[in-house]
Structure 1
Amino acid sequence: MIENKLLNPSNVDPVMELPHAAQDIPLWTEYCYFFGYDPEAQMGVSIHAGREPSDTSIWRATISIYLPGENLLVAKYCGRDGHARGAGAGPLRVTCVEPMRLWTVEFDGLCQATTRSASTNAAHPDSPSELVKFFLTFEGAAPFWDMNALMQNQSWASYHWEQICSIKGQLTVGGKTTNISAMGVRDHSSGPRDYGPLLSNFWVNALFPDGAALHGVNSRCEEEGTEIRMGYIFRNDGSPLENCELVELPHVCTLDTPAGSVARDPLTDPDVRKFRFVLNTKDGLEEVEGELLHTASTTYLSPNDELLGTDFTQLTKGQPKASQLAESPARFTWRGQTGYGGVERIARLVALK
């Protein structure tokens, strides 16, 4: 367990972990994200839950469940099921048990089968459903990271926090229950959200057996002065979380990226499937090798909606800036250790081939 003195280096008010009061601001919303992957079971989850800006009492959620091989289960729900300690959308319920320490994510409902290839190549069609149930605990494994100093001029939020976590729980699919022991990450953001100006990103979180955690992000909006490029390292040796310069990360699209030049499935791109990122820390350069293991995709539409799969038809439906969000479990090697984590990549549909 992280010492209290290391848990909250930016002295964020723990109340900010709970649902925020709705603001009378155009496109205001609030989002939380939960990701976890068990490499032994080859199973995990990726969940985005956010408020509907036109009625902030309604929460919307997109859910992807990673299964062995290329298989996925996906679902999209909405409902007025939020509560004083978290989000809720139909059969999905998220609860902050202890700010910065412990969250639970539970689901008891229906999902639909798809595959990684289908998810990255087309919108998900309606299809027969199957019962899925899970209960997962997200316990802070690294300090609570405050990104708010970087959020000026961002189109997707005004406030943003993240935490790398360890996950325990159970996932039931097809009547079979699997115990889950995983690395994960969660985040929480609020403010006006418009995906239109969001150009691209590559976002990495990794946790290692000795408790060390690493993070790197390069995120771009269209406007100058909005790029975020940095990382952090938590060594779990009694020293505090250290913000670092991000020296190297896979290519992130720019306005000049040619149309049809980026692989729509990250696992088919040799420069992305196996990659490295480099942090410049007070102890020198830290080089980390990464390999993507699976991917689930959603489509981002302006101002702030998400569709299951990758819907290229949106480019001819008044959404020329629609983007693909690809969420990938990944394996990392660093200083002789093997760890696991997640990689998020955003790229506009027009850039994909």
Structure 2
Amino acid sequence: MSIDLTGGLDASRDHVFAKRPDEPEMRDAVNMWVSDDRGELGLPRFAVEALASKWDSHDLSLNIAFPNGRALSARGSGKSHSPIGGDGKPTVLGTGPLEFRCVESFRLWTTSFKGTAAEMTTQDQINGALPGQGPAVDVEFHIEVRMAVPPWIQGQMSATAAAQLKSGVEGNFMGGDRFEQLFRAQGTLRIGSEVHTFNGSGLRIKRQGIRKIEGFWGHCWQSALFPSGRGFGFIAYPPRPDGSASYNEGYIFEGDGALIPARVVHAPWLSKLQARDQDVTVVLESERRRTTIEGETLVSTFAMGRPEMPPDFPVLQQAGARYRWNGEETYGMIERSSRKDKITR
């Protein structure tokens, strides 16, 4: 069966802003997560965030992690790249050493990096080292990503989710018009003199809007693509501080062309700081069935708060995990955050 990878969306929906938005707080953002299909390395989120108020110098972030606890990171900003691609359309989002390029909307993207990253360990980060600290090493990668699943647009799996994003504080956290899409990847990563050539899979996220994260209390976000073509994804927030229910939305993809709406009935909330081998099994419920996807973390990065935010801002884990679904195995992403008083070491 042929899969409509556009999800019925116009090609321009996958483009970036052609010029600086008039609203100073408007953002244009692309980020990706990549997992090697041998479980030997992961890039648990790398991104360009373009904020209208500083349009000539977009922000970038990069995480690279290995199962032995080795981690590399880069944070900062650089000279913004022109958004106009070779075809005259706004298909490029880049800054300094990092670039994302839309080759064919909802089907093919490329990404590249050539710069430096700071080397440390996951335990260093748990101990409080900030991303970007540590000795600098040369890093370069070139990755081609081919979409494998239709885009999941946040707020379109259920009326409840749509209402929460429209009228609740959860919409501020999500940051506007946002969708994500699972893909297959192939690329080459160079760190110093070592070279890693890999095939794998991952997740692409595209977001345009105004994002406000003050008061954020935590979340759990998981997604993976399996060799058979099946996949899943969800984002859920714990109950609000007053105990009321919060945003909880996801999907199951069984390879037959349609995203099946689902919600989480068991999420592995972040409660302990651990570099790897932590149980992150998730249970999703749809109209068809209840689905259990077993998982354990394999590569991790941590940020123990953000210097520009209040002291109680959540601890953030961006990681890669090994997942199993009815005996089939793959590697995928997980991002979790919790307030410090909810976490034990």
| Bin for the TM-score computed over the shorter chain | 0.7 to 0.9
Q: Is 2:137 the counterpart of 1:146?
A: no
Change (3 A) 1:114 1:343: same
Task: State TM-score, norm by structure 2.
Answer: 0.85
User: 2:272 aligned with 1:263, yes or no?
Assistant: yes
Tell me if 1:135 matches 2:142. Answer: yes
How much does 1:265 deviate? Answer: 3.6
Q: Given the alignment of the two structures, is residue 320 of structure 1 paired with residue 311 of structure 2, yes or no?
A: yes
Match of 2:321 in 1: 330
**Cα distance change of structure 1 residues 249 and 70 upon mapping to structure 2, 3 Å threshold:** same
Residue 15 of structure 1: which of 7, 12, 23 is its match?
A: 12
Alpha-carbon distance between aligned partners in 1 of 2:340 and 2:104, rounded to the nearest angstrom: 39
Residue pair 2:62, 2:74 contacting (<8 A) in 1 also: yes
The answer (yes or no) to whether the contact 2:305–2:316 under 8 Å persists in 1 is no
Deviation for aligned residue 1:352: 3.6
What does residue range 47-58 of structure 1 map to in structure 2 within 5 Å?
Answer: 47-58=46-57
Superposed displacement of residue 184, structure 1: 0.5
Distance (Å, rounded) in 2 between the aligned partners of 1:318 and 1:33 = 22
- Does the CA-based 8 Å contact 2:64-2:73 persist in structure 1? yes
The alpha carbon displacement at 1:68 in A equals 4.2
Are the equivalent residues in 1 in contact too, given 2:305–2:314 (CA < 8 A)? no
- Identity across aligned pairs (percent)? 23
Q: Which residue of the partner structure matches residue 172 of structure 2?
A: 155
Cα distance in 1 for partners of 2:68, 2:143 equals 22
Task: Tell me whether 104-113 or 46-55 shows the greater mean CA deviation.
Answer: 46-55
CA contact (8 A) 2:23 2:52 kept: no
Structure 1 spans left out of the alignment, 5+ residues? 253-261, 299-309
**Which runs of no fewer than 5 residues in structure 2 stay unpaired?**
85-90, 157-161
Distance change (3 Å), C-alpha of 1:181 and 1:279: same
Preserved contact between residue 67 and residue 73 of structure 1 (Cα < 8 Å): no
Q: 2:104 aligns with which of 95, 98, 103?
A: 98
Match of 1:307 in 2: none
Indicate how the Cα distance of structure 1 residues 223 and 191 shifts in structure 2: closer, same or farther if over 3 A, else same: farther
In the TM superposition, what is the alpha-carbon distance from 1:328 to its structure 2 partner? 1.1
Give the TM-score, by structure 1 length.
Answer: 0.83
Aligned to 1:25: 23
In structure 1, the partner of 2:250 is 231
Aligned to 1:62: 61
Change (3 A) 1:221 1:279: closer
In structure 1, the residue matched to 2:128 is: 122
Contact between 1:198 and 1:220, CA under 8 Å: does it hold in 2? no
Which of 289, 293, 297 lines up with 1:292 in the alignment?
A: 297
Partner of 2:88: none
Alpha-carbon contact 1:198-1:222 (below 8 Å) kept:
no
Distance 2:111 2:298 in 1: 23
What is the CA-CA distance between 1:226 and the residue it aligns to? 8.1
Q: Aligned equivalents of 1:27 and 1:349: distance in 2?
A: 28
Question: How large is the RMSD of aligned CA atoms in angstroms?
Answer: 2.5
- Greater per-residue strand proportion: 1
**Equivalent residue for 2:32?**
34
Q: Is the 8 A contact 2:294 2:325 kept in 1?
A: yes
Equivalent residue pairs, number: 322
The one-letter code sitting in structure 1 at the alignment partner of 2:301 is A
